[in-house]
A = this chain, B = another copy of it.
Amino acid sequence: MKIAVLPGDGIGTEIVAEAVKVLNVLELPLEMETAPVGGAAYEAAGHPLPEATLKLALQADAVLFGAVGDWKYDKLERALRPEQAILGLRKALGLFANFRPAICYEQLTHASSLKPELVAGLDILIIRELTGDIYFGQPRGRRTAVDGHFPGSEEAFDTMRYSRPEIERIAHVAFQAARKRNRKVTSVDKANVLETFQFWKDVVTEVHRDYPDVELEHMYVDNAAMQLVKAPKKFDVVVTGNMFGDILSDEAAMLTGSIGMLPSASLDKNNKGLYEPSHGSAPDIAGKGIANPLATILSAAMMLKFSLNQPEAAARIESAVQSVLAQGLRTADIWSEGTQKVSTREMGDAVVAAI
């Protein structure tokens, strides 16, 4: 089983190193090959997603990804900026299904901005469509406005779009995921304003006929942003488009108060996937050895489960993470009075020891 390891920028290198260490201790036939991505790849090869990196990702059975981005690349033209690498990988690999769990760990409930009773035991799964919507829709660009409020003036524009098969396949993914959980799907749209999301709502409703055992509710995106704050535990699986999913999955992750713990998976139609922590590259703390590697380690566990068919190895990692939390070990981001502050590497070592 071949894994493309793409550490990227900022804390990416440090956290991916710990995940690789954990994978190595499992004694599975894993072949790991590392390549640069993001700003690191731009420095090394003049492009955030060099051909060699893309080729490696295409050939591998799964991709373990760290994080990309740094303020120092803000001035580069868009096509060369680090985040284009992640957009390019999603598109080239056809990674249309993004799984973003928002889980509140018992020992970390206090870290949330929300009152403990609202988040204790929180376990929701946001499924974000990842290769369609306004992220990739054409045409887009700048032009002279021919209509609107100020015809003749300069304007910029983008195209939002979803086709029936794109909505169908992500809806199936969501209903099937709900069957393994609490059998409830909330489909988030803006059908009251957007043609794209009226269509989304219609198609999700049609697909739902195949899943009479799963409850489907429709919710407007503005209301979803509110209900996540008000009563997050009312959700089970949330399915939505690329743009709304970007916003709501980050909001939900932050509700837990421990985004440093949250993994993510982005899958293609054959369950090949890219796995990365939900948090970013955090350039402000890069190189200090204090980043939390657990989201990346848990992403590696998701990889074993979803793409490499090794559910037992995944479970070993997950219970090792539970056990280091129970031991009271904490990186700075989740530290609180009475627990033991550890470095990135110490946390990785503790997970290895617990396995």
Closest to A227 in B: B254
Contact status B161-A149, CB under 8 Å: no
Residues of B within 8 A of A23 (CB): none
- Known A-B contacts A226-B253, A248-B225; the reply to A165 vs B192 at CB < 8 A is no
- Shortest CB-to-CB span from A292 to chain B, Å, is 16
**Bound state CA distance, A255 and B137, in angstroms?**
33
**Bound state CA distance, A115 and B61, in angstroms?**
44
Closest to A86 in B: B192
- Known A-B contacts A222-B250, A229-B229; the reply to A163 vs B141 at CB < 8 A is no
Binds B, one of A127-135, A176-184, A345-353: A127-135
Binds B, one of A6-14, A150-158, A305-313, A321-329: A150-158
- Within 200-255 of A, Cβ neighbours of B (below 8 Å) are at 200, 221-223, 225-226, 228-230, 243-244, 246-251, 253-255
Is A162 an interface residue when CB atoms closer than 8 A count as contact? Answer: yes
Residues of B within 8 A of A223 (CB): 250
Contact status B195-A113, CB under 8 Å: no
Contact status A229-B113, CB under 8 Å: yes
Is A70 an interface residue when CB atoms closer than 8 A count as contact? Answer: no
Contact of A78 among B114, B198, B251 (CB under 8 A): B198
- Within 57-74 of A, Cβ neighbours of B (below 8 Å) are at none
- Shortest CB-to-CB span from A197 to chain B, Å, is 8
Contact status B251-A195, CB under 8 Å: no
With an 8 Å Cβ cutoff, the count of chain A residues facing the other chain is 67
Residues of B within 8 A of A222 (CB): 246-247, 249-250
Contact status B225-A192, CB under 8 Å: no
Is A336 an interface residue when CB atoms closer than 8 A count as contact? Answer: no
Contact status B225-A250, CB under 8 Å: yes
Is A55 an interface residue when CB atoms closer than 8 A count as contact? Answer: no
Contact status B137-A166, CB under 8 Å: no
Is A194 an interface residue when CB atoms closer than 8 A count as contact? Answer: yes
- Shortest CB-to-CB span from A234 to chain B, Å, is 12
**Bound state CA distance, A250 and B219, in angstroms?**
14
Residue of A113, A253, A254, A255 most packed against chain B (CB within 10 A): A113
Contact status A230-B165, CB under 8 Å: no
Contact of A132 among B148, B249, B255 (CB under 8 A): B148
Is A199 an interface residue when CB atoms closer than 8 A count as contact? Answer: yes
**Bound state CA distance, A156 and B199, in angstroms?**
6
Contact of A83 among B81, B192, B195, B243 (CB under 8 A): B192
- Shortest CB-to-CB span from A353 to chain B, Å, is 32
- Pairs across A and B, CB under 8 Å, 16 listed: A87-B193, A114-B114, A132-B148, A134-B134, A145-B161, A145-B163, A148-B161, A150-B165, A155-B162, A156-B199, A157-B161, A222-B247, A222-B249, A222-B250, A226-B253, A230-B254
User: Which 8 pairs between the two chains have the least Cβ-Cβ distance?
Assistant: A156-B199, A155-B163, A157-B161, A226-B254, A225-B251, A222-B250, A158-B160, A150-B165
